Chain A
Amino acid sequence: MNPAEWDWQTGKKTVADAGKWRNIFAHVDALYVSPDGETLAAVVQTEDLLFSVCENGRIWESRFDKISCLRFSPDNRAVALVSKEGLWTVAASGNLWANTYEFVWNLHFSAAGKSVIVAAVYQGRYLAVSDGVPWSDGFFSLSHLTVSPDGRSVAAVVQTVPLAAGDLAAFQKGCYTAAVNGRPWDMNFLNVWEMRFSPDGRRLAAQVRSTLYDYTIAVDGQPWAVHFASVWRPRFHPADGSVTAPVRVAGLWTLARDGEIFWDKRFVQLWHHQYTPDGRHIAAIVAPKFGVWTVAVDGRPWALTFNELVTDLAISPDGNRVACVGKTDGRWHVAVDGKPWDGDYDMVWPPVFSPDSRHVAAKVEKNGRFTIVVDGRPLKFEFQKAWEPVFSPDSDKILVKGMDDVNGIYTRRVVALPELSV
C-alpha cells in the first residue's frame, strides 16, 4: 500500500455504474471499493446461476459455485474465497491459488497487502495458508488467525490434543496452544485467545488461561509468573519489547507490563489500549465508573464521557492526539483530544488521522445518507453509500469515495482540504 502512487489530482472521477450491473446480473451482492478508490467490485450471479466477481464492470473469467467473501487487499487487489465443485481456494484479481481445500475462511492481509492469508481445512486437519502455501502440519482445530505486520509470520490458536465429548479432565489439562508458522508452542493451556505479534513479527503474545480461574499473558509460549482474574488482549511496546495487557485485580481493571502492575489507576473496565508510535504514551478505552465510558491517556481519563460506549480508538501518527467514537443516549459521536464534535449521528466509522496529525476524518451516517466529516465539519457531499476516507500523503487532500445517487454511480473525489465547506 503506497498512497503516494495514487492519483491525488483534485476533482471528481466517475469510476463505475453499479446500477447497470443490476440489469445485467441476476444478483449483485454488497459493493466494495479498493483503498485507492479506483475500483468498485461486487460478487455477482451470472446467467448460468454461478457466481463471479465484477470489477468496474468487467467480470472475472472464472465462475464459482460459491463466493463466501470478497475484500480488497491494501494493495488494491480484489480477493475472494471461492468454491468450485465443493472445494475451496482463494482468487486474487481472478487468479486462483493452485491448491484447494475442504474449506477456507478468515481472509487476512499483511499491512502492505502483499500477503494473503486464510484459515483452511485440508483432509480434516486445520491449518493456515499464506499466499497459497499451507502449513506443513494441521491441527484438530484452529482459530484466532493472527498475521504479523509484514505478513511473514502467521499465528493461530490450535488444538494439539484430541478431546472427547464431556472429557472435563482432558480439557482442564490443556488441549490448546498457539502455533506460529505451523509450529506449536511447547506448553498447552486450557485456552488461548486473541494474540498479537511484536512490530517486527518475531515474537507473539497471547491471552491464556492455565486453570479455570487463572488468566495471564504468555509471550512466545512462556506465561507471566503472575495470574489475574481475567486479562484482555496484550500489546508489544513499539521499541523496547515489553508487553502490556489489561488485567483484572480485585474486581477492577488496570494495565500490567511484563507481569507487573503498570498503571496505578483502577477502572471498572479497560481495554483496547494502544501505544503512541514512539511508545512514550498509552491510550485506552476505559470505564472510570459503572456505565461511564471515556478514553484514558497514561491512566488519566478524559473529562468527556459517554453513557453507552466508546469504540474505535485512534492515535495520531505524531502521537500527540487521540480520537474515538462514543455513544450517548443512542446517538453516535466523534471525540478528539477529549472534545466532542458538534454533530451526532446514526452511526460513525473509525476516525482517521492525516499523516501530519493535524486533521481527523470519519465516515458518518444520518437518516440513511452518508457523508465524511473532517475536523467536525461535514463535507457538502452526501451519498447513498460511502467508504472510509483516506488523506493524501502530504495531508493537504482527502480521498472521498461515494455513490452519489440512487442509480448506483460510484465516484472518486479528491478534495483539497482548504476547499472543504459546511
Chain B
Amino acid sequence: MTKPPAKARPHFADEGIEKGVQKLTGESITPVIRDILKTEGGARLKVYMETCAHCGLCSEACHHYLSNDRDPKYSPAGKVRQTIGEILRKKGAVSPGFIKTACEIAFTECNLCRRCVMYCPFGIDVAYLMLFVRRICHRLGVVPQYIQDTAHSHAATLNQMWVKEDEWIDTLHWQEDEAREEIPGLRIPLEKEGAEIFYSVIGPEPKFRAQLIYQAAVIMHVAGMNWTMPATPGWDNSDMCMYTGDFEMTARLKKAHFETAMRLKTKRIVMGECGHAFRSVHDVGNRFLGWKTEPLPVVHAIQFYYELFRDKKLTVKQKFDQPVTLHDPCNVVRGAGLHELARYIIHETCDRFIEMHPNREHNYCCNAGGGVINCGPPFTKKRVTSNSVKAEQLKAVKAKGANIIIAPCHNCHGGLEDIIKHYDLGMEIKFLGDIIYECIKKT
C-alpha cells in the first residue's frame, strides 16, 4: 500500500508569534534554550525523554490526532519529537522558523489535558513536556498574542480580564442588588474577616458571566454559609501565566490569592466552576511557591455543591426535567478525580442523566483548555476542526436524547460552544450552578 503524502501543517497568522520570531536570530535562541535546559531541565525532563519508546500508544488518546485523520504529526509523541525532541537533539541550536512552529504546536495543538498520560505504558507526562516548550517560547518572547495579552492583564491587575479594582467591587454590588430583588436579605459579604469561606472566581465571571456570582450568592445564602469575597486584588483564582510559561507570574498570582485568604482569616477557599484555575491553585502555583500542598484547603465548586447536598444544606424544589449529559473537565477529573461527585449532584438535581462516551477520566478534552482557547480568534477554526472527535461524541449523546451538556468549567464552556456552533449540533451548555440555582428551594 502506498503511504499517502504527509499533509503540510496549515499556517495561522498570529501577531504575537510573528513579531516575536522576527526579533530572533539563531545566535539569540541557543543561549536562552541552553540556560533553561541547564537550570530547569532536570531529571524529570531527562527521564521522560529517554524513556519514550515511540510506541505510539498515546496517539489514540489525543483528540488532535484523532480529529486530523490520524496524522502522526498530531500524536503526543509526534509533537514531543517535533519540539523538545528536536531542541535536545540540536542542543538548542534551532532556527527562528523552528521556534515559530514549535510555539504553534505547544500552544495550539496540545491542551495539556493529560489524557495521553493514561495511555502511555510509562506514564510520561506529555503536558509537562509541552509546558517546557512553552516555557522556552516565553523566554524567547514568542507567545500567541491573545494569551500573552491575558498574561499582561494578570501582571498588571492580578486578574485575567483587565478588571480594575473599582470595577470588581462595583460588579459585586451590582450582583448583590440584583439578587436582593429576588431574596431581600441576601448580601455578598465583602472583606468579612473570619468567614469560613473565601469564595473565589475567575476574571471572566465579573467581566462576562456576572450572573454566576449572583447564582453563587443565592446558593451561599440559601445554604446558610459564612462566606466572603475580597474587595482587593487576589480575588481571581485563574492563571494563564501557568500556560504561557511565565511561572514567576504564576507564583505572584497564587501568592496574592492565598495571602488574601490568609488576611481574611478564612478557613478554606471555595472556587467557582473552573478547571484550569483549580489546577493552578491546587496543584501548580502553590508548589512554585514552596507549599507542598495547599496552605489552606481549596475546594472546587463540584466538591462544595456535593457537600451542600450531602449535608442537606440544599434541597431540591423540582428536578431539572430535561435530559442532561456531563462533560468531565480534564483538570478536575483527570486532575482531581471529582467525576463521581459531579454525578452525585446531577442525580440530586436532574430527572434524567445520559452518559456521553467515553466519560469520566477517559472523556475527550473540549480543546479549549490548556490556554488553547485563550490563543484567540486566529486559532478558532483550527481549534474546532481539531476536535471533530468531540463533536461526534456530542452527536452520539444527543441522539440518545441529551440536549443539555453540563460542563463545570469555564474553558470547557467556551470550547464546547464553538464546537456546537461549528458542527451545528443545536445543544445547550450549563454550569452545575445554573442547574442548582434553577432547582433548589430558595425560601
Contacts and interface: CB of A to CB of B under 8 A. Distances in A.
Contacts of A93: none
Interface in A397-421: none
A229 B162 CA distance: 24
B67 interface: no
Given A169-B19, A191-B155, A365-B194, A121 B289 contact: no
Interface in A153-209: 159, 165-169, 171, 175-176, 190-191, 193, 209
A68 B231 contact: yes
Interface size class of A (residues with CB under 8 A): 35 or more
A353 interface: no
A119 B165 contact: yes
A346 B267 contact: yes
Given A165-B149, A168-B19, A68 B265 contact: no
A230 interface: yes
Given A166-B146, A168-B148, A309-B295, A191 B165 contact: no
Given A29-B187, A105-B169, A168 B248 contact: no
A176 B259 CA distance: 24
Contacts of B184: 26
A141 interface: yes
A233 to B, nearest CB: 10
Contacts of A66: 173
Contacts of B290: 268-269, 287, 290-291, 293
Contacts of A307: 292
Nearest to A193: B252
Interface stretch (B5-13, B76-84, B137-145, B345-353): B137-145
Contacts of A290: 287, 290, 292
Contacts of B293: 291, 308
B162 to A, nearest CB: 8
A142 B164 CA distance: 8
Nearest to B172: A68
B133 to A, nearest CB: 17
A142 B166 CA distance: 10
B375 to A, nearest CB: 12
B138 A143 contact: no
Provide the main secondary structure of the chain A interface: strand
Contacts of B287: 290
Given A268-B290, A308-B295, A30 B192 contact: yes
A43 B286 CA distance: 36
Contacts of A213: 139, 248
Nearest to B141: A212
A212 B138 contact: yes
Interface string B168-195: 0110010000000000110101111110
B291 A308 contact: yes
Q: Which of A166, A169, A213, A287 has the most CB of B within 10 A?
A: A166
A236 interface: no
Contacts of A109: none
A176 B155 CA distance: 11
B232 interface: yes
A103 B292 contact: no
Interface string A345-388: 01101000000000000000100000000000000000000000
Contacts of B190: 68-69
A364 to B, nearest CB: 11
A251 interface: yes
Nearest to B177: A66
A275 interface: no
A168 B18 CA distance: 12
A106 B232 contact: yes
B164 A141 contact: yes
B165 A106 contact: yes
Contact of B248 (A26, A105, A229, A346): A229
Interface of A: 26-27, 29-30, 66, 68-69, 102-103, 105-106, 119, 121, 126, 141-143, 159, 165-169, 171, 175-176, 190-191, 193, 209, 212-213, 215, 229-230, 248, 250-251, 268-269, 271, 287, 290-291, 293, 307-309, 311, 327, 330, 346-347, 349, 365
